[in-house]
Structure 1
Amino acid sequence: MISSIGPPVTVATALLVYFGWARSDAQARAMGLDVSLFGYTVQDYALRGIRSLFFPLVSLLIAGLVWLAADDWVRSQLRPGRRGRLAARLSAAAAIGGICLAAACWLLAVVLPQGAFLAVPFLMAAGVLLAEWGVRLHRLTLGRGPRPAGRLVVQHRALETTFVFTLVTVLLFWGVSDFAQVVGRGLAADIEAQLPSLPRADVYSHADLSIGAPGVKQTRLGAASAPVYRYTGLHLLVVSGGRFFLLPDGWTLARGTVVVLPDNDAVRVEFGNR
């Protein structure tokens, strides 16, 4: 059970963390920043990625359940006295169809590397899995599956499984990377469109912070001997890595400044709604 469940769970966790990083990296670059500035942890990347991957993960799980049901039915047809000929045709069709699908996707990615669809890596992975499934079923129809195999055959099967598992994993990372780039850039565009709805952030400091971003207003409060500077016109983007990331009024992706302040006693930040 550990050998069956462990690798898929490990790959799923790695994909989740990688997607969170790639999505955050694309969003940061679109905003003119570097993702390392935010100081996200591995847990942060996983939590930031899981929301966008709900639908793909549910779809993969449903596809896995459908495949298990189909596999049980086809294997049941291979028993003596059942319709083995139909199962043999299905296994051959699965193998040939999977090979054609994977080859077509690979050709599309080579010929049109910039115009390939986001689904190409996932379809290629599905083709590889479908072809491998058809080959395994075909071996059973020939009567070679249940019989004890020699050491060389066992090693060959293990090597084949390793290659297929590695290839599918690489294809999944490829697809997740492309998908994360699109999601990250879309989130950055959403921030620009929904800037007024972000929490208001008023900054107070005893020192003159000299925030020169357009849209930020400075007001001097307190006595002349102990002044307090108030900065308004800012919105909270995120608090991470011991820093406040603030966006001024009128911020845009094309021409915008991100204000970064330390989260310590040097400044006081008040949050609220418009």
Structure 2
Amino acid sequence: MPSADEVRERSESAEPALDPWSRTLKAISAVGPPVTIAAALLLYFGWARSNAQAKAMGLDVSLFGYSPQDYMLRSINSLFLPLTLLTIVAIGWYALDQALRAAVDAGKAIPAIRRGALIVIIAGTTGAVVLFVIALTAPDAALPLHPYLIAGCVLFAAWGMRIHRYARAAAAASLMRRRRVLETTFVTILVTLLLFWGTADYAEAVGQGLAAGYERSIETLPRATVYSDAALSIAGGGVVGATEGTAEAPLFRYTGLRLLVVSGGRIFFLNDGWNPRDGRVIVMPDDGSVRYEFQN
């Protein structure tokens, strides 16, 4: 019966150009390149965040006419800190993985590494199952970023299986490679779905927070004055209309407005003192028929 070192040497000679992490990335690319998945997550997060924000303000997100590029740009600011933290965790995870593999290659602490890997497998699997059951049966009791926690547990358990198998090295090399590719593919699909699920929850929380934030920070939005040759009948708390010009050439002026966003050939305003309960969102055309003035 071949020893563990002989099995590992056969595995490395059969696939000399790829280390375990390279094989993992190769399997992931068969499902979808990481850049494509990241771009899809940015786009989906931007839409989900904008949709939750619009609903909290009593609007439909389609009114804003955002483009895919707008959605992606609107998501970057909110995702910068989470992505930075995930990158730091990934670097630490990679360093730990390489250290454990180097210890196995050197024949150091192999029994301890195998026991630790078993603990990781049990903990990750149990955590994923418990969190998934809670999400299905008691969604109100779910923790913040619940799907992300499930994805982390799945990755934790899959990594433990890899380390345990590497330390044991008892199966045939070719069979191990086939299993690794299949496992990586299925884990990637599952984690990707969990990321989209978690992104929807996180984006909804961010969008609702942004909508509520306008009530506290309405004074920080640019002041807007609207001039029109015809009466616009703009109403809302804090909005003041006045008539200027002459009887032959009247000019109507409206103040007490705050600029929200310019998108889709329209300009969106909030009234002074806006709040989610009885505030107004005023939509005006951006076609030159109405003149606008803005100031801090």
TM-score (norm 2): 0.85
Asked if the contact 1:118/1:175 (under 8 Å) is kept, the reply is: no
1:148 equivalent to 2:176? Answer no
Q: Within 2, Cα distance between the matches of 1:22 and 1:271? A: 30
Cα deviation digits, residues 127-179 of structure 1 (max 9, x gap): 1111111111222222247x5315xx655443322211011111111111111
Q: Which residue of 2 aligns with 1:221?
A: 244
Aligned residue type for 1:19: F
Asked if the contact 1:78/1:84 (under 8 Å) is kept, the reply is: yes
Residue among 116, 127, 133 paired with 1:107? 133
Cα deviation digits, residues 106-129 of structure 1 (max 9, x gap): 122233212211232111111111
Q: Which residue of 2 aligns with 1:13?
A: 39
Asked if the contact 2:214/2:274 (under 8 Å) is kept, the reply is: no
Deviation at 1:13, TM superposition (A): 2.0
1:35 equivalent to 2:58? Answer no
- Structure 1: 5+ residue stretches without partners: none
Q: Secondary structure at the match of 1:92?
A: helix
Moved more, 110-119 or 41-50: 110-119
Asked if the contact 2:258/2:271 (under 8 Å) is kept, the reply is: yes
Q: Give runs of aligned pairs for residues 52-67 of structure 1, distance below 5 A.
A: 52-67=78-93
Residue among 147, 150, 155 paired with 1:124? 150
Q: Within 1, Cα distance between the matches of 2:132 and 2:199? A: 17
- Structure 2: 5+ residue stretches without partners: 1-21
Deviation at 1:197, TM superposition (A): 2.3
Q: Which residue of 2 aligns with 1:26?
A: 52
Q: Within 1, Cα distance between the matches of 2:153 and 2:54? A: 34
Deviation at 1:80, TM superposition (A): 4.9
1:139 equivalent to 2:165? Answer yes
Aligned residue type for 1:224: A
Moved more, 264-273 or 83-92: 83-92
1:244 equivalent to 2:267? Answer yes
Aligned residue type for 1:88: R
Q: Which residue of 2 aligns with 1:160?
A: 183
Q: Secondary structure at the match of 1:264?
A: coil
Moved more, 219-228 or 80-89: 80-89
Q: Secondary structure at the match of 1:229?
A: strand
Moved more, 254-263 or 14-23: 14-23
Q: Which residue of 2 aligns with 1:190?
A: 213
1:262 equivalent to 2:288? Answer no
Q: Which residue of 1 aligns with 2:9?
A: none
Moved more, 179-188 or 209-218: 209-218
Deviation at 1:93, TM superposition (A): 1.7
Q: Secondary structure at the match of 2:33?
A: helix
Q: Within 2, Cα distance between the matches of 1:231 and 1:79? A: 76
Asked if the contact 2:145/2:201 (under 8 Å) is kept, the reply is: no
Q: Within 1, Cα distance between the matches of 2:201 and 2:221? A: 28
TM-score (norm 1): 0.91
Moved more, 241-250 or 207-216: 207-216
Q: Secondary structure at the match of 1:269?
A: strand
Q: Secondary structure at the match of 1:77?
A: helix
- Please give the root-mean-square deviation of Cα atoms over the aligned residues, in Å: 1.9
Looking at secondary structure, tell me which structure has more helix per residue. 2
Q: Within 2, Cα distance between the matches of 1:204 and 1:70? A: 64
1:180 equivalent to 2:206? Answer no
